[in-house]
């Protein structure tokens, strides 16, 4: 089982950028935690991508259909959540691969422009507002879903 974990723009600054909103946990900490969860599930392999570039995210999602398949996707599109039809379309193109969207903050309790996710309708679920723990819950849910 291979799961792709995608993080969008500015998430490489976790732990530094706006810690009052996003906390002090770094992206490296998130990756370590997810690797521990994967290790609990024999045969579970994780691939990580963090990019500030929309096209790099779209390219990797497109590659799922050609030469780099995966069994599931955990995605935090970050700011692209609210703006990227391209990422939403790329997720829809992978409709046989379940994706779960993650947001560290509760996007519905923030500025009104953050209330709408263009990408969530292309996912099987969304976890928001649980801090970086949301990544773990998304990964665990995805593993269960794939194993069924």
Q: What Cα–Cα distance (Å) separates residue 141 from each residue in 21, 67, 115?
A: 25, 26, 23
Catalytic residue among 80, 103, 115, 135: 103
Calpha distance 137→139 (Å, rounded): 5
Q: Tell whether 97 is covered by a domain.
A: yes
Q: Which CATH number belongs to the domain containing residue 65 in this structure? A: 3.40.50.9100
- 53 is written with which tokens? 């570039």
* Mean pLDDT, range 127-143, rounded to an integer: 96
* pLDDT at 106 (0 to 100): 73
Phi-psi region of 15 (alpha: psi -120 to 50; beta: other; left: phi over 0): left
Q: Is residue 2 part of a domain?
A: no
Residue-wise pLDDT for 12-54, tens only, equals 998 998 777 777 999 999 999 999 999 999 999 999 999 999 9
Tell me the C-alpha distance between 60 and 131, whole Å: 25
140 falls within a domain: yes
**Residue 71 falls inside a structural domain:** yes
Band (pLDDT 50/70/90 cuts) for residue 114 is low
Q: How many domains does the chain have?
A: 1
Respond yes or no: is residue 22 known to be catalytic.
Answer: yes
Identified catalytic residue from 22, 80, 82, 135: 22
- Looking at the domain assignment, is residue 1 inside a domain? no
In this prediction, residue 22 carries a pLDDT of 75
Answering whether pTM is above 0.95, one says: no
Residue 122 near residue 58, CB atoms below 8 Å:
no
Residue-wise pLDDT for 66-110, tens only, equals 999 999 999 999 999 988 999 999 999 999 999 999 999 777 656
Give the residue numbers spanning the domain of 101: 7-147
Does 103 participate in catalysis according to the annotation? yes
């Amino acid at each position: 089982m291979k799961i792709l974990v995608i993080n969008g723009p500015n998430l490489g600054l976790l732990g530094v950028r706006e810690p009052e909103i996003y906390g002090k946990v770094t992206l490296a900490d998130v990756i370590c935690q997810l690797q521990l969860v994967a290790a609990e599930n024999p045969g579970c392999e994780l691939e990580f991508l963090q990019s500030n570039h929309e096209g790099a995210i779209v390219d990797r999602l497109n590659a799922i259909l050609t030469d780099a398949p995966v069994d599931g996707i955990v995605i935090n599109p970050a700011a692209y959540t609210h703006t990227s039809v391209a990422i939403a379309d790329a997720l829809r193109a992978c409709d046989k691969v379940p994706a779960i969207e993650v947001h560290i903050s509760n996007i519905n309790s923030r500025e009104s422009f953050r209330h709408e996710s263009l990408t969530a309708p292309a996912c099987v679920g969304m976890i928001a507002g649980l801090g970086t723990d949301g990544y773990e819950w998304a990964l665990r849910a995805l593993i269960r879903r794939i194993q069924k």
